[in-house]
C-alpha cells in the first residue's frame, strides 16, 4: 500500500525531488503518462501537495527541461573536476573546440538517458522569452558564450557559433532518436531496418546506405559533424585568451 501524504512526507518533498520523480515516470512510461495525480501516486502524496512545487501539468513539463539541463550541468561539473584532478588543468584553460566537444558529449549522454524528454527540450524553451527559460538552461548558455568570449570571438561571431552548436546537437540527437529498427532480431540488415519494403528502383541510394544506417555510431556522428561545422567558423584573433588557433 502506498503511504499517503502526511506531515513527515510533506516535509521531505522538494522541487528537485518532484522533478526527479517526473523524469523517472516519463522515462518509464512516456510523456502521456505524466499527470499530477499519477506523479502524486508515485511520490506517495496527495496531488495538492505537488502544487507547492509546480503550478500544474504545463509547468511540470517545463520542469522536465529544467531537470534535464540540471543533469547536464552536474555532469559537466563532474568532468571538470576530473580534468582538474587528472591533468592539473582548469576546464577554462581548455581550447574552445575541445570544450564544446565536452559539452556536446555531456548533453548527448543525458539525452540518451532520457529519450522521451528530448523532443520536449527541443520545443518547450522556444515557447517562452529567453529570460523565462529554466535557470539550468540559461546557465549552460552562459557557459558556452563565456567559452567563446574567452577564446577571443566578438559577440556576433560567438552568437553564430552558439546557435550552430545548439542546432547541430539537437538536430543530430533527434535524428538519432528516430533511427528506429524495424526488427532487432533480424540478421539481414535490409530486413532489420525494414528497407526491403522500399522499391529498389525508386530508392536506390537509401537502400545502398543500409550498412551505414545499421552500424550507426551516434557519438562519432555527433562529434564528426560538429567538427565539420566548427571548422568553417573563423578563428579568433591570435592574441585571444587561448593563444590563437584551436586544435
In this structure, the answer to whether residues 90 and 210 fall within a common structural domain is no
Whether residue 79 is predicted with pLDDT greater than 50 in this model: the reply is: yes
Range 162-177 average pLDDT = 89
In this structure, the answer to whether residues 12 and 34 fall within a common structural domain is yes
Mapped onto helix, strand or coil, the DSSP state of residue 136 is helix
In this structure, the answer to whether residues 202 and 239 fall within a common structural domain is no
In this structure, the answer to whether residues 159 and 69 fall within a common structural domain is yes
pLDDT value at position 109?
Answer: 94
Give the E-state strand segments of 56-186 in sequence order. none
Residue whose entry in the numeric block shows the C-alpha cell 532518436: 177
Contact criterion met (CB below 8 Å) for 64 and 117: yes
How open is the CA angle 225-159-66, to the nearest 5 degrees? 80
User: φ, ψ for residue 14 (rounded to 5)?
Assistant: -155, 165
Cα–Cα distance measured from residue 17 to residue 239, given in angstroms and rounded to the nearest whole number: 46
In this structure, the answer to whether residues 44 and 156 fall within a common structural domain is no
In this structure, the answer to whether residues 236 and 133 fall within a common structural domain is yes
In this structure, the answer to whether residues 126 and 169 fall within a common structural domain is yes
Does 59 fall in a domain?
Answer: no
Pick from 185, 182, 179: which is nearest to 218 by CA? Answer: 179
Give the chain's domain count. 3
Cα–Cα distance measured from residue 206 to residue 84, given in angstroms and rounded to the nearest whole number: 45
In this structure, the answer to whether residues 22 and 80 fall within a common structural domain is no
pLDDT value at position 177?
Answer: 63
In this structure, the answer to whether residues 188 and 171 fall within a common structural domain is no
pLDDT value at position 203?
Answer: 86
Mapped onto helix, strand or coil, the DSSP state of residue 233 is coil
For residue 22, give the C-alpha cell: 517526473
In this structure, the answer to whether residues 209 and 161 fall within a common structural domain is no
pLDDT value at position 90?
Answer: 66
Residue whose entry in the numeric block shows the C-alpha cell 522521451: 116
User: φ, ψ for residue 103 (rounded to 5)?
Assistant: -65, -45
Does 118 fall in a domain?
Answer: yes
Q: What is the CATH number of the domain that holds 28?
A: 1.10.10
CA dist list (Å): 246 to 26, 141, 161, 240: 40, 21, 14, 11
Average the pLDDT over each of 56-60, 61-65, 194-198 and give the range with the smallest value: 194-198
Does 88 fall in a domain?
Answer: yes
pLDDT value at position 89?
Answer: 67
In this structure, the answer to whether residues 104 and 14 fall within a common structural domain is no
Cα–Cα distance measured from residue 172 to residue 91, given in angstroms and rounded to the nearest whole number: 25
Cα–Cα distance measured from residue 127 to residue 208, given in angstroms and rounded to the nearest whole number: 40
In this structure, the answer to whether residues 112 and 44 fall within a common structural domain is no
What digits encode the pLDDT tens for the residues 97-109?
Answer: 999 999 999 999 9
Range 170-175 average pLDDT = 88
Contact criterion met (CB below 8 Å) for 175 and 115: no
Containing structural domain, residue 69: 64-179+221-247
Amino acid at each position: 500500500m502506498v503511504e499517503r501524504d502526511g506531515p513527515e512526507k510533506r516535509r521531505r518533498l522538494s522541487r528537485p525531488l518532484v522533478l526527479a520523480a517526473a523524469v523517472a515516470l516519463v522515462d518509464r512510461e512516456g510523456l502521456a503518462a505524466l499527470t499530477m495525480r499519477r506523479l502524486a501516486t508515485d511520490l506517495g502524496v496527495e496531488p495538492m501537495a505537488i502544487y507547492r512545487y509546480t503550478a500544474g501539468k504545463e509547468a511540470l513539463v517545463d520542469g522536465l527541461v529544467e531537470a534535464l539541463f540540471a543533469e547536464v550541468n552536474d555532469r559537466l561539473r563532474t568532468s571538470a573536476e576530473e580534468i582538474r584532478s587528472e591533468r592539473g588543468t582548469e576546464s577554462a584553460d581548455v581550447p574552445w573546440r575541445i570544450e564544446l566537444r565536452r559539452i556536446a558529449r555531456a548533453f548527448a549522454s543525458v539525452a540518451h538517458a532520457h529519450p522521451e524528454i528530448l523532443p520536449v527540450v527541443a520545443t518547450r524553451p522556444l515557447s517562452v522569452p529567453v529570460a523565462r527559460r529554466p535557470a539550468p538552461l540559461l546557465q549552460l548558455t552562459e557557459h558556452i558564450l563565456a567559452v567563446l568570449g574567452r577564446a577571443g570571438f566578438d559577440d556576433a561571431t560567438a552568437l553564430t557559433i552558439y546557435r550552430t552548436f545548439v542546432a547541430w546537437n539537437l538536430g543530430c540527437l533527434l535524428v538519432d532518436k528516430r533511427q528506429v529498427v524495424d526488427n532487432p532480431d533480424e540478421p539481414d540488415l535490409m530486413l532489420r531496418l525494414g528497407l526491403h519494403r522500399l522499391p529498389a528502383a525508386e530508392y536506390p541510394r537509401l537502400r545502398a546506405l543500409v550498412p551505414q544506417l545499421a552500424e550507426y555510431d551516434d557519438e562519432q556522428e555527433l562529434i564528426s559533424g560538429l567538427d565539420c561545422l566548427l571548422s568553417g567558423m573563423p578563428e579568433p584573433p591570435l592574441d585571444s585568451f587561448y593563444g590563437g588557433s584551436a586544435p
